[in-house]
Amino acid sequence: MSRAPVLLVGFAVTNRAVCAQLVERGHLVVPVDDAPDDHARLYAEELGVGLLEQPDPDDWPALAADARAIVPTPGLPESHPCLGAAADAGTPVISEFDLAQQWDARPTLAVTGTNGKTTVTLLAAAMLEASGIPVSVAGNTETPLVEAIRADRPEAFVVEASSFRLGHSQCYRPTVGAWLNFAPDHLDVHESLTSYRAAKAALWNRADEHTTSVVNRDDPVVVAHAPDEGRVVTFGLDDGDFRVSEGALWAWSEKLADTFELHRSQPHELSNHLAAAAVAMAGGAHAQGVRAALLSWTGLPHRVALVAEHDGVRFFDDSKATTPHAACAAVRSVGRAVLIAGGRNKGLDLGPMAEVADQLRSVVAIGEAAEEVQRAFAGRCPVTIAGSMEEAVRTAAEGARSGDAVLLSPGCASFDWYGSYAERGDHFSLLVRELIGGSP
């Protein structure tokens, strides 16, 4: 075994799990972090590895040249000097997916896409479990794949596969790989939209006769990257192996469920249902298990979730929508609305949000990107800037009429005012309930 170290660049949840596995297997590991906290230091100490803190950019050529491989933390900017140094030195940059596949031969069912990954991952897992197939959910979740493989119970893993992991994967080949959709995102991490697209497309780079690729027929970018090798299964609202027809969801010629039976049946949700069914059935789920999971699925928090209805106005929390693409889908699903949008922009053009301006009564702009939101809708619909979520909720409610929706669908990240999109959505929901409770 080589005694050259594996460098772990960034020492948060995923790379701590990677470190533990490498140490157990007798590998030399050097974790590196530009801004470590006390938890990182304590974890490194417990594993008996030395944590290298805040290396100078000029140190990276030597560090990379001496390393056997580099594992970047998910979300490490592509501009980080370790990546350029690795390329110059010819040192492989790999992902936790690569390592997990080397260490465990059980099937993985991977789901990527700009929007809907978590929903499809969890729903597909529920379909498989309802079909009697024990699975574990991993990847871009609380449990990295390298951690999930420790458990003996799962027969397979349903993996939420972010571009951050896929883009650095060198040998990862999922048994089933689903690409849901593509829209600009994460340009604060990826150097360009081309780089982001290539990272997503890496899901299918190693497709072969042993793999199934699940392709969204409704997304031209996804269709353009569909692999020539292996089995290909398609889904789409109007056309595909999995589709909506005659008011029902179908898998080829088999009806899975009527849409009126579902708790959530907005267009983007139906697309997610179809994708999950395609993934699950490619992984061995049967139609009865898929149907059972569909009928019990009530959706996830902060995703066009109805908070309350008062005086004919519905209030929706869609705080998870951190891209213009997701915000537009939410507006289309709720109809006439007052939109609360803004936050911390992830390097994206917010202009596409104006595509739904004709469905908006007005917009309330919030956070660091408030002025960008205002410019995006200039001349298309009225925009008010609010200095707090309290002001935003109050202003939106005052501007809504009976039959409208007040929709928090920010199109931006939450990290200007909040620690997470969940915290933002929870605060919005609390304020809505307080407002309604205080109304005569």
pLDDT tens by residue, 216-232: 999 999 999 999 999 99
Q: Which pLDDT band, with edges at 50, 70 and 90, does 3 fall under?
A: confident
Q: Which of 80, 186, 200, 320 is catalytic?
A: 186
Q: Model-level pTM greater than 0.85?
A: yes
**Quick one: which of 237, 300, 242, 322 has its CA closest to 276?**
242
Q: Which pLDDT band, with edges at 50, 70 and 90, does 438 fall under?
A: low
Spatial distance between the Cα atoms of 137 and 155, rounded to a whole number of angstroms: 11
pLDDT tens readout for residues 103-147: 999 999 999 999 999 999 999 999 999 999 999 999 998 899 999
pLDDT mean over 279-291? 98
Fold annotation for 305-437: Protein-Tyrosine Phosphatase; Chain A (3.90.190)
Catalytic annotation on 345?
Answer: no
Please give the structure tokens belonging to residue 368.
């660091």
CATH 3.40.1190.10 domain residues, the chain? 97-296
Q: What single-letter amino acid sits at 24?
A: E
Spatial distance between the Cα atoms of 146 and 193, rounded to a whole number of angstroms: 28
- Give just the sign of the alpha carbon dihedral 211, 214, 219, 223: positive
φ, ψ dihedrals at 66, nearest 5°: -85, -5
pLDDT surpasses 70 at 2:
no
Q: Which CATH number fits domain 97-296: 3.40.50.720, 3.40.1190.10, 3.40.190.10, 3.20.20.70?
A: 3.40.1190.10
Amino acid 233: pLDDT: 98
**Quick one: which of 251, 206, 255 has its CA closest to 233?**
251
CATH 3.40.50.720 domain residues, the chain? 6-93
β-strand partners of 46: none
pLDDT surpasses 50 at 397:
yes
Residues whose CB falls within 8 Å of the CB of residue 230, separated by 6 or more in sequence, listed in order:
207, 208, 209, 210, 211, 212, 213
Q: Which pLDDT band, with edges at 50, 70 and 90, does 439 fall under?
A: low
pLDDT tens readout for residues 314-364: 999 999 999 999 999 999 999 999 999 999 999 999 999 999 999 999 999
Q: Which pLDDT band, with edges at 50, 70 and 90, does 440 fall under?
A: very low
Place of tokens 């995006």: 376
CATH number of the domain at 6-93, please?
Answer: 3.40.50.720
pLDDT mean over 232-236? 98
Give percent of the chain with pLDDT exceeding 90. Answer: 98
Catalytic annotation on 140?
Answer: yes
Q: Which of 27, 80, 117, 325 is catalytic?
A: 117
Q: Which of 140, 181, 216, 345 is catalytic?
A: 140
CATH 3.90.190.20 domain residues, the chain? 305-437
Spatial distance between the Cα atoms of 346 and 188, rounded to a whole number of angstroms: 5
Catalytic annotation on 286?
Answer: no
φ, ψ dihedrals at 412, nearest 5°: -145, 160
